[in-house]
Amino acid sequence: MRILAAMSGGVDSAVAAARAVDAGHDVVGVHLALSRAGGTLRAGSRGCCTVEDALDARRAADRLGIPFYVWDFSERFRDDVVADFIAEYQAGRTPNPCMRCNEKIKFAALLERALELGFDAVCTGHYATLVDGPDGLELHRASDAAKDQSYVLGVLTGEQLAHTYFPLGTTPSKAVVRAEAEARGLSVAQKPDSHDICFIPDGDTRGWLAERVGAEKGDILDRSGAVVGTHDGAHAFTVGQRRGLQLGMPAPDGKPRFVLEVRPVTNTVVVGPKEALATAQIAGERFTWAGRPPAETAFHCDVQIRAHSDPVPARAEISDGVLTVTPQSPFDGVAPGQTAVLYSGTRVLGQFTIDRTVSAAPVSV
């Protein structure tokens, strides 16, 4: 096959490209330039899209003896990922930019261009596996549960899965990947993993948002509507947060309070006890399937609401264009805007953006 290897400059994508070469594929490497704010080196940066990353990717491609290009996807990234991130926070939701990047950039914009240029598939260093099932190609968890990235790939459709290649999915551990990179002479063998949001390299999400959407003081309310504190901008908070709350009035029971709701229209934040974070039901209209849709409109599954959270057994139901999930035991601290990924065993069924939540706790003060 003709394979376009997306090379981030990290060890995973470098080894994935190397394995594609070893498998006899015709491989071309490409690094995605996602920001036009050039000149940023990794010093103090925790992202994955710096100039140094592009140079690391080029060195890895040279070591593998494959052609290498840098493609400018900065405008598409700005419009589909960064702008979406800002809009979601302005609406009081908590977005996952990595999900949007996979959905809109790596497996939409990149894959579209790859197919236009005659490539058969895009190869990445994600830890997930593809299985030929009775109803077609299936997306499954990786062998290494600690590195499994099937959650952030839950946005992929069956058509996209047909043109993807995940060489690392059956690798037993990240240590094996690093050892292989060392043996291959790849300079990124011991390079630290990237983390946090790539377009906020210093990790200061609150400050970054304040510069773009403004910061206006507002009230912090308890569930009865009483003012218990103030804040410097509702956009800085997300459901389940405890740190950063400026509360002038302690709870009657003396226990810590957590963010239960963000109301951007009134610029208020609602807080309450930890038990009020228990969520009995979630629902959303924006859902996709990783292959063939479920045969029934109501079915049992496991649901994961964060990249590293445990899956929870649940019942899912589709009615009037809305996917509703009721877990056997309540979720903890779900925020609108998060992504819920549905599984059947190790198989990814699909995903949806959470628009509505129902608390499992009665309202009390």
DSSP state of 105: I
Select which of 48, 98, 198, 301 is catalytic: 198
* Residues 331-345, mean pLDDT to the nearest whole number: 94
User: Is 101 annotated in the active site?
Assistant: yes
pTM: 0.90
Nearest alpha-carbon partner for 142 in 117, 170, 123? 170
pLDDT of residue 40: 46
Which residue is listed with tokens 């990717």?
A: 57
List, for residues 171-224, the tens digit of each pLDDT value: 999 999 999 999 999 999 999 887 668 888 777 888 888 888 878 899 999 988
Q: Which domains does the chain have, with CATH numbers?
A: 2-183 (3.40.50.620), 215-272 (2.30.30), 277-359 (2.40.30.10)
Q: What is the pLDDT of residue 252?
A: 81
The pLDDT tens digits for 110-149 are 999 999 999 999 999 999 999 999 888 999 999 998 899 9
Query: If you search the block for the tokens 């509703």, which residue do you land on?
Result: 324
Report residue 45's pLDDT band, with 50, 70 and 90 as the boundaries: very low
* Greater model confidence, 296 or 40: 296
Name the pLDDT band for 360 (thresholds 50, 70, 90). Answer: confident
CA dihedral for 124, 125, 126, 131, sign (positive or negative): positive
Strands (E), 67-210: 68-72, 121-123, 128-133, 136-141, 164-165
Mind listing the pLDDT tens digit for each residue in 57-109? 999 999 999 999 999 999 999 999 999 999 988 888 888 888 899 889 989 99
Output the pLDDT for position 89.
85
Q: What is the torsional sign of CA 204, 207, 212, 215?
A: positive
Predicted pLDDT of residue 44: 41
Q: Give the per-residue pLDDT at 197.
A: 81
Over pLDDT 70: what percentage of the chain? 95
Q: Any catalytic annotation for residue 198?
A: yes
Confidence of residue 11 (pLDDT cuts 50, 70, 90): very high
Among the listed residues 48, 49, 101, 301, the single catalytic one is 101
Element (DSSP H or E) covering residue 150: none
Residue carrying the six token digits 């003012």: 227
- Is residue 37 predicted with pLDDT exceeding 70? no
d(CA 180, CA 184): 6
170: confidence class by pLDDT, cuts 50, 70, 90: very high
SS3 340: strand
Name the average pLDDT for the chain. Answer: 90
pLDDT for res 320: 96
The mean per-residue pLDDT over the stretch 216-244 comes to 89
